[in-house]
């Protein structure tokens, strides 16, 4: 099965929204006036389209996202569910899962990384499939989450000072065939290291660095 959030995940989040069970606890303090997010008030709701993969077909699913307002200065913030990455329609499991498939193999191409049981997820309305360039963009996005990786690493080392994570991060090597510029090489390394940190974080704390740390440090 391809990596994806499920329709049930989205329906469950919509149910929480409808029952006022969404709190702003994964949002950063207001960057303007530094009011803590626990004091934010619900400002509005907006519908968000997510793209999920059902039986190898890319389908749209909708749910409401809550926007909070800072009582100090009036700045607004969007609260994202765990299956979402801000500014992306595909869900976090798809973005991280397909990106990891590409990064975890020395020889695999972007198109090969998208293949599940010999085929690529496609769109039901035509013969088009998920373009390989999509993974390129996802890795660029994940490669920017360096502050997320650093914060998670600090938490991991506080929990286990003798963890092998630093050695694992130092051993990350990207085959030269996967990049043409130093900038792209760095993005690939950052993304691969993020995946390693995420695996250690889940094993240690039984939770993901997405989206609380990611939102707090990259999208606030």
Cβ count within 10 A of residue 24: 21
Dihedral angle at the C-alpha atoms of 103, 94, 91, 210, nearest 10 degrees?
Answer: -50
Nearest to 66 by CA among 90, 35, 40: 40
Spans of the chain, pLDDT less than 50: 218-220
Per the listing, tokens 């869900």 go with: 91
> Quick one: pLDDT at residue 31?
84
- Tokens encoding 99: 């990106």
Nearest to 60 by CA among 17, 10, 135: 10
Question: Can you give the C-alpha Rg of the chain in angstroms?
Answer: 18
Measured in degrees and rounded to the nearest 5, phi and psi for residue 61 equal -135, 145
Measured in degrees and rounded to the nearest 5, phi and psi for residue 42 equal -60, 130
Nearest to 173 by CA among 193, 194, 145: 193
* 62: Cβ contacts below 8 Å, ≥ 6 apart: 10, 47, 48, 49, 50
> Quick one: pLDDT at residue 215?
65
Tell me the residue ranges of DSSP E strands in 55-97. 57-69, 76-79
The domain ranges of the chain are: 7-79, 92-219
């Amino acid at each position: 099965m391809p990596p994806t959030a499920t329709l049930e995940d989205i329906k469950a989040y919509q149910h929480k929204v409808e029952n006022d069970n969404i709190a702003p606890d994964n949002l950063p303090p207001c960057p303007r006036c530094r009011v803590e997010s626990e004091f934010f008030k619900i400002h509005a709701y907006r519908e968000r389209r997510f793209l999920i993969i059902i039986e190898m077909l890319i389908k749209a699913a909708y749910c409401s996202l809550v926007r909070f307002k800072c009582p100090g200065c009036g700045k607004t913030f969007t609260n994202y569910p765990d299956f979402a990455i801000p500014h992306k329609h595909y869900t976090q499991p798809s973005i991280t899962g397909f990106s990891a498939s590409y990064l975890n193999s020395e020889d695999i191409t972007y198109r090969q990384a998208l293949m599940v049981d010999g085929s690529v997820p496609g769109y039901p309305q035509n013969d088009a499939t998920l373009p390989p360039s999509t993974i390129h963009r996802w890795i660029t996005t994940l490669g920017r989450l360096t502050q997320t990786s650093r914060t998670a690493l600090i938490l991991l080392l506080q929990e286990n000072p003798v963890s092998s994570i630093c050695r694992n991060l130092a051993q990350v090597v990207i085959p030269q065939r996967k990049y043409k510029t130093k900038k792209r090489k760095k993005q690939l390394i950052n993304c691969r290291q993020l995946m390693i940190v995420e695996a250690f974080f889940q094993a240690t704390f039984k939770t993901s660095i997405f989206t609380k740390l990611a939102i707090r440090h990259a999208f606030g």
